[in-house]
Structure 1
Amino acid sequence: MADNITLSAAVRQNLLTLQSTADMMSGVQNRLATGLKVNSALDNPNSFFTASGLNARASDLTNLLDDMGQVVQTMKAADEGITSITKLVESAKAKANQALQTQSQYERSKFAKQYNDLLQQIEALAKDSSYKGKNLLGGEGNNLTAIFNEDNTSKLTVAAVDYTDTTLSTGLNLTDLAEAKGGAASFQLEGGASSITLTDGSGDALGSGSLITDFASITAGDVLTLRTAASGGGSAVATLTVTANTTVQDVVTALDGVAGVRAEFDETTGALSITSNDDVFLYNSDDDNGGTAAPTDLVSVSTANFTASTQLLTGSASFTAGDILTLEDGNGYELGSYEITAESTVADLVDFIDDFNGVSASFSTSTGKITIESDTDLSLTSDNAEDFAASAFGSTTGVTINAAQDSGFATDNEINAVIDRINTALSNLRAQASEFGTNLSTVEIRQDYTKTLINTLQEGAGKLTLADTNEEGANLLALQTRQQLASTSLSFASQADQTVLSLF
């Protein structure tokens, strides 16, 4: 007897239907769970491999899209750097224009230094404009390449420019300006005074119109000499041969005409006063009219260094009341002026000079010298040519200081040349910004296109492999109904077989 259990045809058919329905329900449930109608090559080889290719390309483009995003950020960093550098260059131009609006060499030297500081900031900003180690403002080795497709046949190379060194002719071509280096000069203040009383034989004071021969020690034919050393030594700086018509005023005029010497006559007392910046001696060098007698010392002036409290009018033969001293720089820009009065002292003069920016003055009691230091070219002049007599016997027009180096903004021509270079640099910056802007726009357009293409590829792959959840849901409901009906049919078939039992 066989061991197999025999089923009726009806039961077997219903079992097969239930099994088939269960298999279809499993497939529908899998599609609903995965969302895919093609999960492997076994489901649909053509759709599976086509979709895989589309998804692979979409994945490659997604990686490129990430790279494009970093390229965009690198270019934005460079663009922001150029924007800031442009503002700094415009600030440098403003400094040049400010320098052009003043003639003061000191102010111009300060603007030149500020200009140099701005160039340093430009270089520092350019160096800081990198993103992930790539700096489009850093020059060589920083070119940037954006790749747009999988085989690298579509790409854009953005050339870097070097702004980390403003002097480069291929960049901004802006060089640092020379910064002012000062100089110094000094002049000595010394002097002394002495006098002689001119009277006639009766002891009455002579007047300025009196004949000098009325003075007992002088006769016609005598030679009066102003010399630089005692006992008739040194150089003769003034000589006057006395005639019968020579007056006291003639003598005063001859002495007063010597640089560094001031002669004054008092009509009341008959006193002839001589003030000199250096030692001088008035001699009657030919009082016997034959040149054989020893010179007669009439007046001796011995000088000494000034002190800070020495009054300029009483101590020096150069200064006179009302003299105007003027400080000017190398451009003729007047720093200030000072009027000599009867109360003016050495300290007052030093304070006047020392009061200006970029200028310092000091007085040495031991040497009697005023030393002036200036950051720029400088001159101290007077409307009285004798105020700055180098000595009693030679005058200069004033005290001049030649700076060791003038600033790069010292003259209008130099400033205008700098402004021209700045204008060129600004044009180059704007052109470079435009180029970067065009490249950035191109990359962003390709970025948007790549996003769309990736979506298209993924959508195409989805159409080949994605399941229709609505349809699959309906299928599952239908299969569940079929399963229930098949179960019912199996029950009916089983009941038909059970009728045999009624025979027993």
Structure 2
Amino acid sequence: MSDITLSSAVRANLNTLQQTASLLSDVQNKLATGRKVNSALDNPNSFFTASGLTSRANDLGTLLDDMGQSVQTLKAADEGISAITKLTESAKAKANQALQTQSQFERAQFATQYNDLLGQIEDLAKDSDYKGKNLLGGAGNELTTIFNEDNTSSLTVDSVDYTNTTLSTGLNLSDLNEAQGGATTLQLEGGNSSITLTNGSGDALASGSVLTDSSSFAVGDTINLNGVAGNAGSVQATLTVSAGTTVQDLVTAIDGVAGVRAEFDEATGGLSITSNDDVFLYNQAGDGSSSASLTGVTSNAFTVGTQLLSESGSFKVGDTLTLEDGNGFELGSLEITSATTVSDLEDFVDDFNGVSASFNTGTGQITIESDVTLNLTSDNADFAASAFTADNDGVNVTAAQNSGFATDNEINKVLDRINTALSNLRAQASEFGTNLSTIEIRQDFTRSTINTLQEGAGLLTLADTNEEGANLLALQTRQQLASTSLSFASQADQTVLSLF
């Protein structure tokens, strides 16, 4: 090719075409890539400056993704606190319900439900994690969010522990004692007998009649009610007959013994003695010469159908039995009639929530079991008397453990703790909200910074498509003109050939 010689005109036009083609290629590359600086060869200063801006934008983009995950972690914790707050408010409602009743059984039920709610709070706290990070899960769950490339700007969100409601640094809500009941027995046994008091003519004595109207008694006699057979020892009641001693005086003396009931029938002159324990009525002559047995009662265990009045000295017609819990809350009452049986008494006690009663025919005992402290009392002082001793406080079931809502004072203490826990929950929710807001603000700032960096890099490297389009059109026109000029130059050289 070096042996070929071009005219100066042709060579000039050829150089112009080559330069135009090179410029046209550059413009087409800029339009194709959208960049006016594609490598360091294009513009070293702009290229490396733009690369630095783009690298920082990419680094911030990675941090922006991490900020987004931090936002989700905080949202999960905030949703957890909202749900825990609702459960805590439900627990408060249970305490208020317990405060509105005096029934120990109902309070025990509310205490159990309260404990169940605390268990749900702990489970919910454990489930409030996001990608293995739980801000409600205690130590080791702190959340750190980095805001810049060199880690000099960050935010650490401390975790709290709601997975254990008893922690003083958390909700400080302890499980309540749940009621553990007790049991007792009521012994039902007894018997009765009677004697007829008449005068010498065989007519029935009246309650106002003097005892000496009967041939069985004389002034100076001593009438004893003994707890053992034989007129010796174990005297439960004694009456010395005087000229003015009446039948009613004898009835009163016998009836005054605990667990013994004496009744006199004016129509028949019959003196009926009903006793829980074996008793024997004796008359000791005033001179001590003789002792006569008047009557005796042999005690036997009751059956389900035994009428209480017929065999027990602990009941009278019109007696009112009252069943109360340890708070004095009355569960119900039963009025004793002449037809009231053991079965009626058993059903009465067994009819209430948390209380059960069962009668054992073999032992004659009613076993009473109760979830809470229970008292069965009567307005009859002889109720539940045993061995001629009055049982002044009735039949009692002492619960092994009362519920944590047993008294108003205990409930109010729980309510105070719940109110404090709710305040702490609201404060913690506010703190998480502030942290969330901070991270979201930094998110927006980082997003804007990335846009600024990318925009700055673009100003250095991106091509102006309008300008490059105009350049392309101009270069295409130049190329066409150069081609035409080259053609003219070649034609000038060809005119020499026409001479041959």
Q: TM-score, normalised by structure 2?
A: 0.98
Matched-pair identity in %: 74
Comparing 388-397 with 431-440, which one deviates more in the overlay? 388-397
The answer to whether 1:358 aligns with 2:354 is yes
Query: 1:128-139 counterparts in 2 under 5 A?
Result: 128-139=127-138
Deviation readout 1:274-307 (Å, 9 max, x if unpaired): 11111100001x22x22242x2110111111111
Q: Superposition RMSD on alpha carbons, in Å? A: 1.3
Report the residue type matching 1:461 in the other structure. Answer: A
Deviation readout 1:332-362 (Å, 9 max, x if unpaired): 1111111111221111111111111111111
Q: Deviation of residue 71 (structure 1)?
A: 0.8
Report the residue type matching 1:380 in the other structure. Answer: L
Instruction: State the secondary structure of the residue aligned to 2:386.
Output: strand
The answer for the alignment partner of 1:17 in structure 2 is 16
The answer for the alignment partner of 1:500 in structure 2 is 496
Query: 1:88-103 counterparts in 2 under 5 A?
Result: 88-103=87-102
Q: Deviation of residue 409 (structure 1)?
A: 0.6
Q: Is this contact kept in 1: 2:142–2:156, CA < 8 A? A: yes
Specify which of 399, 402, 411 is matched with residue 403 of structure 1.
399
The answer to whether 1:32 aligns with 2:31 is yes
The answer for the alignment partner of 1:290 in structure 2 is 287
Query: 1:224-235 counterparts in 2 under 5 A?
Result: 224-235=223-234
The answer for the alignment partner of 2:6 in structure 1 is 7
The answer for the alignment partner of 1:120 in structure 2 is 119
The answer for the alignment partner of 2:148 in structure 1 is 149
Q: Deviation of residue 139 (structure 1)?
A: 1.1
Comparing 487-496 with 389-398, which one deviates more in the overlay? 389-398
Query: 1:37-52 counterparts in 2 under 5 A?
Result: 37-52=36-51
Q: Within 2, Cα distance between the matches of 1:16 and 1:181?
A: 109
Q: TM-score, normalised by structure 1?
A: 0.97
Q: Deviation of residue 453 (structure 1)?
A: 0.2
Report the residue type matching 2:496 in the other structure. Answer: V
Report the residue type matching 1:183 in the other structure. Answer: G
Instruction: State the secondary structure of the residue aligned to 1:410.
Output: coil
Report the residue type matching 2:337 in the other structure. Answer: T
The answer to whether 1:305 aligns with 2:301 is yes
Query: 1:17-416 counterparts in 2 under 5 A?
Result: 17-284=16-283, 286-287=284-285, 289-293=286-290, 295-416=291-412
The answer to whether 1:465 aligns with 2:457 is no
Instruction: State the secondary structure of the residue aligned to 1:274.
Output: strand
**Where do 5+ consecutive residues of structure 1 fail to align?**
none
Deviation readout 1:129-158 (Å, 9 max, x if unpaired): 111111111111111111100000011111
Report the residue type matching 2:149 in the other structure. Answer: E
Q: Within 1, Cα distance between the matches of 2:393 and 2:28?
A: 112
Q: Is this contact kept in 2: 1:208–1:247, CA < 8 A? A: yes
Q: Within 2, Cα distance between the matches of 1:131 and 1:103?
A: 45
Q: Deviation of residue 16 (structure 1)?
A: 1.0
Instruction: State the secondary structure of the residue aligned to 2:496.
Output: helix
Q: Within 2, Cα distance between the matches of 1:61 and 1:363?
A: 82
Q: Within 1, Cα distance between the matches of 2:2 and 2:196?
A: 174
**Count of residues paired in the alignment:** 500
The answer for the alignment partner of 1:483 in structure 2 is 479
Instruction: State the secondary structure of the residue aligned to 1:150.
Output: coil
Report the residue type matching 1:198 in the other structure. Answer: L
Report the residue type matching 1:290 in the other structure. Answer: D
Report the residue type matching 1:61 in the other structure. Answer: L
Comparing 320-329 with 194-203, which one deviates more in the overlay? 194-203
Q: Is this contact kept in 1: 2:276–2:386, CA < 8 A? A: no
Instruction: State the secondary structure of the residue aligned to 1:394.
Output: coil
Instruction: State the secondary structure of the residue aligned to 2:366.
Output: strand
Q: Deviation of residue 388 (structure 1)?
A: 2.2
Q: Is this contact kept in 2: 1:71–1:146, CA < 8 A? A: yes
Distance 1:70 1:393, change over 3 A: closer
Q: Deviation of residue 207 (structure 1)?
A: 2.1
**Where do 5+ consecutive residues of structure 2 fail to align?**
none
Deviation readout 1:374-408 (Å, 9 max, x if unpaired): 11111011112212223434333311111100111
Q: Deviation of residue 233 (structure 1)?
A: 4.2
Deviation readout 1:442-481 (Å, 9 max, x if unpaired): 0000000000000000000000000011111111111111
The answer for the alignment partner of 1:437 in structure 2 is 433
Q: Deviation of residue 234 (structure 1)?
A: 4.6
Q: Deviation of residue 203 (structure 1)?
A: 2.1
Instruction: State the secondary structure of the residue aligned to 1:373.
Output: strand
Report the residue type matching 2:287 in the other structure. Answer: G
Q: Deviation of residue 29 (structure 1)?
A: 0.8
Instruction: State the secondary structure of the residue aligned to 1:176.
Output: coil
Query: 1:417-456 counterparts in 2 under 5 A?
Result: 417-456=413-452
Q: Within 2, Cα distance between the matches of 1:364 and 1:313?
A: 19
Deviation readout 1:38-68 (Å, 9 max, x if unpaired): 0111100110010011001001100110111
Report the residue type matching 2:61 in the other structure. Answer: T
Distance 1:169 1:342, change over 3 A: same
Q: Deviation of residue 371 (structure 1)?
A: 1.1
Q: Is this contact kept in 2: 1:390–1:396, CA < 8 A? A: no
Q: Is this contact kept in 2: 1:276–1:392, CA < 8 A? A: no
Report the residue type matching 1:420 in the other structure. Answer: D
Q: Within 2, Cα distance between the matches of 1:453 and 1:206?
A: 119
Instruction: State the secondary structure of the residue aligned to 2:183.
Output: strand
Report the residue type matching 2:315 in the other structure. Answer: F
Instruction: State the secondary structure of the residue aligned to 2:467.
Output: helix
Q: Within 2, Cα distance between the matches of 1:351 and 1:391?
A: 26
Q: Within 2, Cα distance between the matches of 1:102 and 1:209?
A: 52
Q: Within 1, Cα distance between the matches of 2:421 and 2:233?
A: 67
Q: Is this contact kept in 2: 1:51–1:465, CA < 8 A? A: yes
Q: Is this contact kept in 2: 1:237–1:393, CA < 8 A? A: no
Q: Deviation of residue 249 (structure 1)?
A: 1.8
Instruction: State the secondary structure of the residue aligned to 2:334.
Output: strand
Report the residue type matching 1:54 in the other structure. Answer: L
Q: Deviation of residue 3 (structure 1)?
A: 6.9
Q: Deviation of residue 159 (structure 1)?
A: 0.8
Report the residue type matching 1:168 in the other structure. Answer: L
Q: Within 1, Cα distance between the matches of 2:187 and 2:292?
A: 31
